[in-house]
Amino acid sequence: MEVDYEITSTEEKTGKNIVVILVGAPGSGKSTFCENVMSAARCPWVRICQDTITNGKSGTKAQCLSSAAEALKDGKNVFIDRCNLEKEQRAEFVKLGGLHVDVHAVVLDLPAKLCISRSVARTGHEGKLQGGKAAMVVNRMLQKKELPKLGEGFSRITYCQNESDVQGAVNTYGGLGPLDTLPPGYFGEEKRDAKVQLGIMKFFKKVDAIDTAMRDKNCSQVSVSEQETKEIDPSCKETEKITSSVGNEYEGNTEDQVLLEGSSVGSLSSKGVPTLAFPSISTSDFQFNKEKASDIIVEKVEEFLKKVGNVRLVLVDLHESNILSLVRSKAEQKNIDSKRFSTSVGDITRLYTRGGLRCNVIANAANWRLKPGGGGVNATIFSAAGPALEAATKERAGSLSPGKAVVVPLPSTSPLFKEEGVTHVIHVLGPNMNPQRPNCLKNDYDKGCRILGEAYSSLFEGFASILSIQTKLWKGSEEVSGSRSSELHENLFERNITNKREGRYASDRIKKYKGPQEESGIQHAISGSNGKESLSAMTDSMEGKVQSKNEKVDGGKRKVWSAWAQALYHIAMHPEKHKNEVLEISDDIVVLNDHYPKAQKHLLVLARMDGFDSLVNVGAEHLQLLKTMQAVGLKWVQSFLSDDASLVFRLGYHSAPSMRQLHLHVISLDFNSNHLKNKKHWNSFNTAFFRDSIDVIEEIEKYGKATLHDDEKLLSMELRCHRCRSAHPNIPRLKSHISNCQAPFPATLLQNDRLVLAPSQVHNKA
């Protein structure tokens, strides 16, 4: 009898339970890992071990599955303590995942020699695998090792290749609270370093990043850093299927719209949100009362979050401490959004590589001299950042007064920049209640609370300044929110660095489609010693180009491409890295399936021209490229029609696409797809928002540009059948109707070859 392992609960869960499938050879430390996490845990964990599943004796896989399911129903997190070295061995446990359960893998990929020596030396092992036979067993199992992939159904995979990595993973899971979650994706120092996140394009680990200039007029340099792409280990048996947001246009659904993570060290956090990680100020070395300090932290956090847009603050301590507990409790009492403010246990200088939390800014509880040394956070941050931070700090300030903060752009040479993606450190000094330290307030908590409040206010204002200065990269641009300015900042420099690295597209492709004047301007913008340019030089050379690329045809707001929206651009520029997904490649185009198709057949034909983001950028000089895209789309349509003559196709562009890189939609008009979920999806293909390819080509020929119907109101119009134009209240009702509607298509669609049908249907189309 097959056991149903679907997890149900009579209680509504505010967080998700976790199944952690441990993957590792005998002797890799799986059982010890479980014990260490469970001893430090703040929420209930259950260890499921096949060696002890039957009252301390070995049992079956089915018993493990049943016990795990029961533990999850009881609201507990679960460790699956088996070797799980082969995909087949993991498959049934992955199925434990569901709406309220995330499935993670922790891979203890320690050296074989270490695993063997441990296994041989141990005594009293639960599974009796010890002594001389252990070496043979470990060797045999490692020969069959298949490292896990997200495509198996995991939401998060952490690789541990040494004891330091293992301890980092212990800290991550041991520090989880009942309502805490972990970001999805690959984490750790795994040498196959395809660090991509669940639901996004499997990009190489690209680490273009920048230092932004600060408000102070003496900080005028912007440095740009590159880290070479790490090759995926050829020993992998197969390339993991891309689970990207390719074609994820107007998805409007959080389960499908996943933002890009790991695309740019120093860009944004794991959710694409500018993130500040900060320690509690003055509660350690300066001995400030923790109860009073927690009140001030929560007060200032709440005050700051009301003023700013989409940002995130994270209070960090090395261990689960009293200050974290107090702040967490008080923040919950004040109903502060946990997605915007949370606490985290771990080393503030290793939050990304050990815990997957990307923080582009971190705060340092500094001393008044702004010098390395002492202890605690200050020593840790200066040590992790290297000499570059001390030198950069010295340029900014020589000392710091209590209650004040100083923002230091972190040089790209700093390990903290290159490995963790931290672009800025904010030094902040709080009040001192320790008589062994300077400026002791001698228990004057009235003054102390005022200074501590000023310290946090200065810290958060410094963080805000990092975001707001980015708007100044755009002369005369409108004021934008913190999240928007981060996108502006990232978008401006990401284009330059990508072009610089990929010389053939910054030269050959540009020469083919752009005039010499524009080409020279772009080449100037990407030149410079080691990729470094001053802010003024970079903005002067690029401003006109970026404006022309991002403005709408008739003047209007600039289009800013967020991180996840860069997926198609990277495929167009690097199709050779996505051979398993790409259907056709030529010098001019790339063809691939839309990853979230809105119909039975839904292809995207991408232009391979750099800077060709959407119809906004199309002019008369691009006419031949548009015709090529149309011809390729028609070729694929004929192939589909030869298999199913009942299909009807339409080829066209969205007036305002949600993803960067001009792409032609080739879509069948059955609209039979689970990914078609809301008004935006439907109306983006069935209103004037969708521009037929044939019409665009004619307009370019006549007027040199295409007319865009990019009014957002079009996407929120009532739902109407694309055949009979009847109105329907919701998508399920509309889908039910169109599956049976036999009305002829409207006359506007039947004209000018906007519809493509099989020859046998042509006489019936009216």
How do residues 255-272 score in pLDDT, each as one tens digit?
Answer: 222 222 222 223 333 346
Mean pLDDT: which of 14-23, 139-148, 561-570, 682-691 is highest? 682-691
332-336, 550-554, 721-725: least confidently modelled range:
550-554
Which of 729, 758, 744 has its CA nearest to residue 639?
A: 758
- The model's pLDDT over 442-499, given as tens digits with 9 standing for 90+, comes to 888 899 999 999 999 999 999 988 877 644 443 333 333 333 433 333 333 333 333 3
Query: Between 546 and 687, where is the model more confident?
Result: 687
Which of 118, 205, 105 has its CA nearest to residue 147?
A: 105
Which of 668, 675, 664, 676 has its CA nearest to residue 644?
A: 668
Whole-number pLDDT of residue 126 = 61
- Mean pLDDT for 80-88 is 91
Residue 195 has pLDDT above 50, yes or no: no
Residue 612 has pLDDT above 60, yes or no: yes
Query: Between 707 and 543, where is the model more confident?
Result: 707
- Mean pLDDT for 24-34 is 90
Whole-number pLDDT of residue 579 = 85
| pLDDT band of 710, cuts 50, 70, 90 | confident
- Mean pLDDT for 648-676 is 95
C-beta separation of 671 from 601 below 8 A:
no
Which backbone phi and psi does 492 adopt, to 5 degrees? Answer: -60, -50
Provide the 8-state DSSP code for 280.
P
Whole-number pLDDT of residue 607 = 95
- The model's pLDDT over 126-154, given as tens digits with 9 standing for 90+, comes to 655 656 566 777 877 887 788 898 888 99
Whole-number pLDDT of residue 245 = 31
Whole-number pLDDT of residue 702 = 93
Residue 122 has pLDDT above 80, yes or no: no
| pLDDT band of 184, cuts 50, 70, 90 | confident
Whole-number pLDDT of residue 718 = 92
Q: Is 190 left (phi over 0), alpha (psi -120 to 50) or beta?
A: beta
| Rounded percentage of the chain residues whose pLDDT exceeds 90 | 40
Q: Give the integer Cα–Cα distance in Å for 449 and 468.
A: 28
- Mean pLDDT for 110-133 is 73
Whole-number pLDDT of residue 106 = 95
| pLDDT band of 763, cuts 50, 70, 90 | low
C-beta separation of 277 from 359 below 8 A:
yes
Residue 20 has pLDDT above 60, yes or no: yes
Residue 699 has pLDDT above 70, yes or no: yes
Residue 400 has pLDDT above 80, yes or no: yes
The CATH class, in words, for 17-191 is alpha beta
C-beta separation of 427 from 365 below 8 A:
no
Do you know the residue count of the chain?
A: 766
Residue 337 has pLDDT above 50, yes or no: yes
Whole-number pLDDT of residue 511 = 38
Residue 208 has pLDDT above 60, yes or no: no
| pLDDT band of 174, cuts 50, 70, 90 | confident
- The model's pLDDT over 412-425, given as tens digits with 9 standing for 90+, comes to 888 998 888 899 99
Which of 76, 116, 72 has its CA nearest to residue 95?
A: 72
Which of 88, 91, 79 has its CA nearest to residue 20?
A: 79
Query: Between 714 and 373, where is the model more confident?
Result: 714
Which backbone phi and psi does 108 adopt, to 5 degrees? Answer: -90, 80
C-beta separation of 403 from 451 below 8 A:
yes
Query: Between 179 and 573, where is the model more confident?
Result: 573
Place of tokens 């499908």: 256
Residue 516 has pLDDT above 60, yes or no: no
User: What is the topology classification, in CATH, of domain 565-762?
Assistant: HIT family, subunit A (3.30.428)
Place of tokens 């400026």: 439
Query: Between 664 and 262, where is the model more confident?
Result: 664
Query: Between 350 and 7, where is the model more confident?
Result: 350
Whole-number pLDDT of residue 435 = 83
| pLDDT band of 549, cuts 50, 70, 90 | very low
Whole-number pLDDT of residue 519 = 33
Give me the helix-helix angle, 535-550 and 516-525, nearest 10°: 140
Whole-number pLDDT of residue 320 = 81
| pLDDT band of 560, cuts 50, 70, 90 | low
Strands (E) in 434-570, as ranges, are 533-534
174-188, 609-623, 703-717: least confidently modelled range:
174-188
Query: Cα separations (Å) of 60 from 48, 54, 105, 564?
Result: 11, 9, 21, 43
C-beta separation of 317 from 280 below 8 A:
yes
Work out the mean pLDDT of the chain and round it to a whole number: 75
- Show which residues are catalytic: 663
Mean pLDDT: which of 254-263, 393-402, 443-452, 559-568 is highest? 443-452
226-230, 436-440, 472-476: least confidently modelled range:
226-230
Query: Between 210 and 436, where is the model more confident?
Result: 436
Which of 361, 566, 572 has its CA nearest to residue 459?
A: 361
Q: Give the integer Cα–Cα distance in Å for 736 and 729.
A: 12
- Mean pLDDT for 332-344 is 90
10-24, 86-100, 521-535, 602-616: least confidently modelled range:
521-535
Residue 643 has pLDDT above 60, yes or no: yes
What are the boundaries of each domain within the chain?
17-191, 275-471, 482-548, 565-762
Whole-number pLDDT of residue 559 = 57
Residue 426 has pLDDT above 50, yes or no: yes
User: What is the topology classification, in CATH, of domain 275-471?
Assistant: Leucine Aminopeptidase, subunit E; domain 1 (3.40.220)
- Show Cβ contacts of residue 510 under 8 Å, excluding neighbours closer than 6 positions: 518, 519, 522, 523, 610, 611
- The model's pLDDT over 613-639, given as tens digits with 9 standing for 90+, comes to 999 989 998 999 999 999 999 999 999
Helix and strand numbers, DSSP H then E, in the chain = 25, 25
Which backbone phi and psi does 664 adopt, to 5 degrees? Answer: -95, 125
| pLDDT band of 188, cuts 50, 70, 90 | confident
| pLDDT band of 190, cuts 50, 70, 90 | very low
Q: Give the integer Cα–Cα distance in Å for 744 and 351.
A: 59
- Mean pLDDT for 581-590 is 93
Whole-number pLDDT of residue 33 = 93
Whole-number pLDDT of residue 698 = 94
Strands (E) in 574-686, as ranges, are 582-585, 589-593, 602-607, 648-654, 663-668
178-91-179 Cα angle (round to 5): 10
Which backbone phi and psi does 471 adopt, to 5 degrees? Answer: -65, -25
